[in-house]
Amino acid sequence: MGSGTEGVGEAGVSRRELVAASAAVAASALFATGNYAYAQGSDRIKVGLIGCGGRGTGAANDCFRSSQGVELVAMGDVFADRLNGSKGALKDQLKDAFKVTDDTSFVGLDAYKGVLASSANLVILATPPGFRPIHFDAAVKAGKNVFMEKPVASDAPGIRTVLAAGELATQKKLAVVAGTQRRHQAPYVATIAKLQAGAIGDIVGGQVYWNGGGVGNGYGDKGSQTDLEWMIRHWYPWTWLSGDHIVEQHVHNIDIACWVMGGHPQSAMGVGGRSQRTEARFGNIFDHFAIDFIYPGDVHILSMCRHWDGTPGNVSERFVGTKGVTNAAGSISGPNEWRYQGQSTNPYVQEHADLIASIRAGKPLNEARQVAESTLAAIMGRMAAYTGQIITWEQALNSQDSIVPDMAKPAAAIPVPAVSIPGRTEFK
């Protein structure tokens, strides 16, 4: 995605025309990749897994299910118990495609370096998000194709690292796909292609939601662990590791808003706080956010997310145009009423199929910039709620607030981060 400016861009192409063309290409790739992946099954895809928790284990299985000729050759995690649990599960799931040995199993903060030094030609990055920029940068420099889970950073310095590594991946002709699986989900792809072709006219506003119950039970006893090990094992309650739930989870819906709008928001203002997460064991993250994202043309998109038990859930998107309304996921109402009638595949599998097909076709996908911009939009919303101030895109992108501790000092004491107070919290 570009700068998100209105009007006519390079070579006299409008933003709508540019994004419509991109959506059409995505739709074409979505429906073509499956057969191609199987046809090229003799081209071995050797996978290395970095981050062996539930999402990493699931992603490795999805990758294997997506295409023929895929095998898992290396794994790494900070904790031996997580690594061994994942190895046991994946050995049962992958059968003969499980090629991991003791020599290609790595434990510790530097475990990713062992995986990157292995024979893997595709790596899955599924550690807590605070580590994503470090691992993505190293993977690209090592010449590996990448599947990385969202979000791709927890602060602006990390986003800048991801953007630079994404550009290097382009230069090195490496494929990069992110875990924003709706970008590979047929109803979304088909619907947004229609929106960019003008099916509901000009977008004048919208809402995106991720309202649900709590995630995780906070942190446990530290025991003999270092501060860093303790926080990583209980990573969700810490903003430096998860980005807070607006970044870690709600980024999916914010990504849809950026996709529909053809770029990132220009500014954000909002509110947030802790209504149910009032205990210290919930770290320093909020339990609710409501953000007003302002896109070019003074288009306002409301973003709302909350982790409140005992309240109605809502995970959805809605956009209003001059000629209709859409949920962006297979439904348009208005003069051009339409319902998606095509086939659907599991998007968690399809994203890997598209990635592998692009590698085998010699036309590598690179989603680094789009996921970095969507992640930064979520970070911008968090900054607006944490500070109580209006935050512009430029302020967010150029922020010097580096909230991730120095990984070169794993034994160092890490102060427990304070909960932000709007109106009192500042950023650099």
Query: How far are the Cα atoms of 124, 195, 318, 321, 331 from residue 328, in angstroms, in the given order?
Result: 28, 8, 7, 12, 7
Number of Cβ atoms within 10 Å of the Cβ of 253: 24
Q: Lowest-pLDDT range, 59-73, 111-125, 231-245, 402-416?
A: 402-416
Query: Is 277:242 a contact under the CB 8 Å cutoff?
Result: no
What tokens does 238 get?
Answer: 């810490």
**To which H or E segment does residue 252 belong?**
helix 251-261
| pLDDT the model gives residue 18 | 33
- In this predicted structure, the answer to whether residue 22 has a pLDDT above a threshold of 80 is no
CA dist 319 and 147 (Å) reads 29
Sorted by where each begins, the domain ranges of the chain are 10-182+363-367, 189-343+372-397
Q: What is the mean pLDDT of the chain?
A: 91
Please compute the mean of the pLDDT values over residues 15-20 and round it to a whole number.
36
Percentage of the chain surpassing pLDDT 70? 90
Domain topology for 189-343+372-397: Dihydrodipicolinate Reductase; domain 2 (3.30.360)
User: How far apart are alpha carbons 23 and 20 in whole angstroms?
Assistant: 5
pLDDT, one tens digit per residue, over 382-399 is 999 999 999 999 999 999
Reduce the DSSP state of residue 393 to 3 states and report it: helix
The residue-averaged pLDDT of 274-286 equals 95
> 423 burial class (0-12, 13-18, 19+ CB within 10 angstroms)?
exposed
CATH 3.40.50.620 is the classification of domain 10-182+363-367: no
Contacts 24+ apart (CB under 8 A), 107-111: 107/76, 107/77, 107/78, 107/79, 107/80, 107/83, 108/78, 109/78, 109/228, 109/407, 109/410, 111/50, 111/76, 111/77, 111/78, 111/83
Phi and psi dihedrals of 73, rounded to 5?
-115, -15
Q: What is the pLDDT of residues 325-366, one digit of tens each?
A: 999 999 999 999 999 999 999 999 999 999 999 999 999 999
0.75 cut: is pTM over it? yes
Q: Quick check: do 10-182+363-367 and 189-343+372-397 share a fold?
A: no
pLDDT for residue 89: 98
* Measured distance CA(107)–CA(119) in Å, rounded: 18
Q: Name residue 226's amino acid.
A: T
